[in-house]
Amino acid sequence: MRIIIAGGHGKIALRLAARLGSGAVGLVRNPAHVHDVEATGAEAVVCDLEQATAEDVAEIVRGADAVIFAAGAGPGSGSARKDTVDRGAAVLMADAAERAGVGRFIQISSMGAGRSPRAGSDEVWAAYIKAKTEAEDDLRRRELDWTILRPGRLTDDPGTGLVRLAPSVPPGSVPRDDVAAVVMALLEAPGTRHQALELVSGDTPIISFVATE
């Protein structure tokens, strides 16, 4: 398989690349990040999703089996970049996938997306949730075989392989290791297409989830 990962230097993306090895292509904005992606065994391509056109990205995506959107503006970024990355780059990747004829598209979103931020929420957090929601809304309107994954609070704890994954789950946290493992499972789970799934740590083995699809 050839899997394109947008946001290739992110913490989840690097974990995905390590699992996929030579089958992964990580898109990175900063050339200094190429080495870190290549150290996982994956290919790295420099592509600034805030500057590229859909046709630019389609040339990279063409021939892939799936696209995973794992990009984000990241901590310390302001409201403007929440829009240009968490929304704008997601829309760009979906446009590129359609142009390239790549149907499978997994979008890593966030728990809380799809709902209005709580009253009194931090301005940047509200912008982040708005951007994620609008990116999801855009994806739902497309003919792609999409799945939206909404993890809870992310941690760097070791993965357990035990999760709770459903359209709605109680708030909670989840290790990035387990998010990467679930994304891998979703690639092989056609029954999850056109679903938005929330994810936190739980007591169901990820492998059991795959087996039911």
Catalytic residue ranges: 128
- Rounding to the nearest 10 degrees, give the CA dihedral for residues 48, 98, 128, 118: 180
Q: Collapsing DSSP states into helix, strand and coil, what is residue 14?
A: helix
The pair of structure tokens assigned to 209 is: 């989830």
Starting at the edge strand found earlier in the chain, the sheet holding 24-28 runs 43-46, 24-28, 3-6, 66-69, 104-108, 145-151, 195-201, 162-166, 204-205
- Rounding to the nearest 10 degrees, give the CA dihedral for residues 122, 90, 92, 63: 160
Round to whole Å and give the CA distance between 142 and 139.
5
The pair of structure tokens assigned to 50 is: 């805030």
Round to whole Å and give the CA distance between 155 and 37.
20
Q: Are strands 24-28 and 3-6 parallel, antiparallel or unpaired?
A: parallel
Q: Collapsing DSSP states into helix, strand and coil, what is residue 195?
A: strand
